[in-house]
Amino acid sequence: MSKSRLKVIPLGGLGEIGKNMLVLEYENDILIIDAGLMFPEEEMIGIDLVIPDFSYVIERKENVRGIIISHGHEDHIGALPYLLPQLDNVPVYSTKLTNGLIQVKLKERRIHKGVNLKVLSHGQEISLGRFKVELFPVCHSIPDASGIIIRTPEGIVIHSGDFKIDHTPVNGKPTDLSRLAQLGAQGVLLLLSDSTYAELPGYTPSEQVVGDSLDHYIANAPGRVIITTFSSLISRVQQVINAAAKHGRKVFIAGRSMSETVSISLELGYLKAPDGILGEIQDIKKMPNNKIVLVTTGSQGEPTSALVRMANRDHKHVHIMKGDTIILSSTPVPGNESLVNRTVDSLFKQGAHVIYSKLGQVHVHGHGSQEELKLILSLVKPKYFMPVHGEYRHLSLHAELAGSVGVPPEKIFVMEDGDILELSSNFARINGKVTSGHVYVDGLSVGDIGGVVLRTRRMLSRDGIVVVIIAVNRQTGQLVGRPDILNRGFMDDKDFSGLIEESRQALVKALDHSAGRVNDVSFVNSKVRDTLDKFYYDRTKRRPMILPFMVKV
């Protein structure tokens, strides 16, 4: 009988930013860490969200002992509404705030079936099959973020979660370096560590820097101050409340996700707000402009967000005016730059004074830079190392950092989604692959949209569509009249009229040469496509989608 080995299988988050999900498997026990989503890339036309392919765990769902969530960001909890209904009441463990945010997420999607949420405090150990799991505090851009310690029959595995080392966090606890050093002294089999900012030298600045900047801008703004940030960035909201209280301003919250997060954070005690400082958005017009601070969603230029609606003069309660100071307390997620730039331009046009990261230190990110990553590696001293969370270049650079602090290259594993890392106490290798990849969520449809549909959408968005209607005599199989040709998104009709005539003639000629087969629908369809595809490409160097329709008369 072969010796049992620990398997570590990333199903998302490696080779991409987002949709983080990792599986640990030992014999008949499976543990899942995180289940996140990713926002669609530009070429994923019409797609709302991207989630991991769960098929590996669904096929073994009777072995799943639990799901551990590191913190409450979308890229770690966003796929739970799609995963939990497919598992049998599997317990989901997380800290108190994370648990509250998961509840909000499940309620949004009306998910009640198969939900078994449990709060796990830092330092508390639980047994899940052959695994013993403990959460420890890490500093990130949301309170209650955790790293994860997993004791397995082969040794200790540490998952850093998303972290940075900030000795003066606004709320929440600093990363527990002493716990990591303690485990490092005991001996750690495998370290899985966040690679998101492995490109950046030095240290990530403290949140304190942002607090000082916000205080300065709120103190000196002549009119309203509008601050946009990620809805989950509770520490930033706390900094805004503190500065507003100090300078006698009232705080208003705009945007559904921001309102829900603030509400649950206040309820659970993760946000502290003096009495009377928070106002209802509908009362904003009753306040003098120099007494208002507005915190809003829209830091990524999302079309339906509150800030973008303000920029488009489309918000119910707030209209941008000269004298407003608008602070973008975030950095654009890669791919969102043009949306954010468009919003900033629109705000400038309306007379606002806009401040973003290039103009002032109004944002710091929540991930460790190179020196912090090296410090964790030095404290933990893992036998084996696997970088997680990041595009392939981030993982590769993190692997180089591990080499620079003494981890032997043969003990570093740069992996991709679906790879299987097999480990025992003195052995490790990548051995095989499981099903993984993107599952697209489009409206109510999950996983029904495939590569063919996306390619079709890309083609339609690029070169438009040409519809060809051909009438054929039912008895004789001869063409009746000439084909009708319509276009949408290919060319302007007035430019297209000359081409229509020529393409009709080319089509009639091609079909005349095929006399006797005009009744054969599949033959006619391919003949029409081939003829017009070549004709339009020769004339315009574009390839519209060609849809033939045959009508028998």
**Average confidence score pLDDT of the chain:** 88
Shared-domain flag, residues 416 and 480 = no
Region 33-44 average pLDDT: 78
CATH number of the domain that residue 155 is part of: 3.60.15.10
Residue 221 lies in a domain: yes
Region 14-23 average pLDDT: 94
Shared-domain flag, residues 259 and 389 = no
Region 183-207 average pLDDT: 95
Residue 22 lies in a domain: yes
For the whole model, what pTM was predicted? 0.81
CATH number of the domain that residue 544 is part of: 3.10.20.580
Instruction: Work out the percent of the chain whose per-residue pLDDT is above 90.
Output: 59
Region 518-543 average pLDDT: 80
Shared-domain flag, residues 89 and 21 = yes
Of 224, 213, 220, 226, the C-alpha closest to 258 is 226
Look at residues 386, 420, 446 and tell me which one is the last residue of a structural domain: 446
pLDDT at 336 over 80: no
Shared-domain flag, residues 166 and 282 = no
Q: Residue 63: what pLDDT?
A: 97
CA distance 161 to 389: 9
Residue 458 lies in a domain: no
Structural domains of the chain, count:
3
**Span 258-301, pLDDT tens digits:** 999 999 999 999 999 999 999 999 999 999 999 999 999 988 88
Region 58-84 average pLDDT: 95
Of 268, 258, 240, 238, the C-alpha closest to 171 is 238
**Span 220-246, pLDDT tens digits:** 999 999 999 988 888 899 999 999 999
Shared-domain flag, residues 401 and 536 = no
Q: Residue 524: what pLDDT?
A: 78
Residue 453 lies in a domain: no
Shared-domain flag, residues 323 and 406 = no
Contacts of 214 (CB under 8 A, 6+ apart): 227, 239, 240, 243, 327, 329, 362
Q: pLDDT band for 457, please (50, 70, 90 cuts).
A: low
Shared-domain flag, residues 162 and 304 = no
Q: Residue 361: what pLDDT?
A: 85
Residue 360 lies in a domain: no
Q: Which residues of 161-200 are buried (b: 16+ CB within 10 A; e: fewer)?
A: bbbbbbeebbbbeebbeebbeebbeeebbbbbbbbbbbeb
Look at residues 355, 381, 409 and tell me which one is the last residue of a structural domain: 355
DSSP designation for 208: H
Shared-domain flag, residues 430 and 519 = no
Of 381 and 498, the structure prediction assigns the larger pLDDT to 381
pLDDT at 113 over 80: no
pLDDT at 45 over 60: no
Residue 452 lies in a domain: no
Shared-domain flag, residues 123 and 269 = no
Of 379, 222, 244, 231, the C-alpha closest to 300 is 231
pLDDT at 42 over 70: no
**Span 205-215, pLDDT tens digits:** 988 889 999 99
Region 173-197 average pLDDT: 96
pLDDT at 156 over 80: yes
Q: pLDDT band for 475, please (50, 70, 90 cuts).
A: confident
Of 469 and 513, the structure prediction assigns the larger pLDDT to 469
* 50-54, 144-148, 250-254, 469-473: segment of lowest average pLDDT: 469-473
Q: pLDDT band for 514, please (50, 70, 90 cuts).
A: low
Q: Is 140 helix (H, G, I), strand (E, B) or coil?
A: coil
Region 247-266 average pLDDT: 93
Domain residues for 501? Answer: 464-552
Distances (CA, A) of 30 to 77, 155, 312, 453: 18, 16, 48, 34
Q: With the CA atoms of 40, 45, 46 and 52 taken in that order, what torsion angle do they form, in degrees rounded to the nearest 10?
A: -40
Q: pLDDT band for 61, please (50, 70, 90 cuts).
A: very high
Shared-domain flag, residues 117 and 163 = yes
Strands (E), 155-287: 155-159, 190-194, 225-228, 250-254, 278-279
Q: Is 402 helix (H, G, I), strand (E, B) or coil?
A: helix
Shared-domain flag, residues 122 and 187 = yes
Catalytic residues: 194, 367
Look at residues 414, 446, 478 and tell me which one is the last residue of a structural domain: 446
Q: Residue 95: what pLDDT?
A: 97
Residue 389 lies in a domain: yes
Q: Residue 1: what pLDDT?
A: 34
CATH number of the domain that residue 260 is part of: 3.40.50.10710
Q: pLDDT band for 505, please (50, 70, 90 cuts).
A: confident
Residue 146 lies in a domain: yes
Q: Residue 157: what pLDDT?
A: 98
Of 401 and 537, the structure prediction assigns the larger pLDDT to 401
Q: Residue 537: what pLDDT?
A: 83
Q: Residue 242: what pLDDT?
A: 95
Shared-domain flag, residues 246 and 162 = no
Q: Residue 334: what pLDDT?
A: 63
- Residue 328 phi, psi (nearest 5): -95, 95
Supply 392's token pair.
Answer: 């392939």
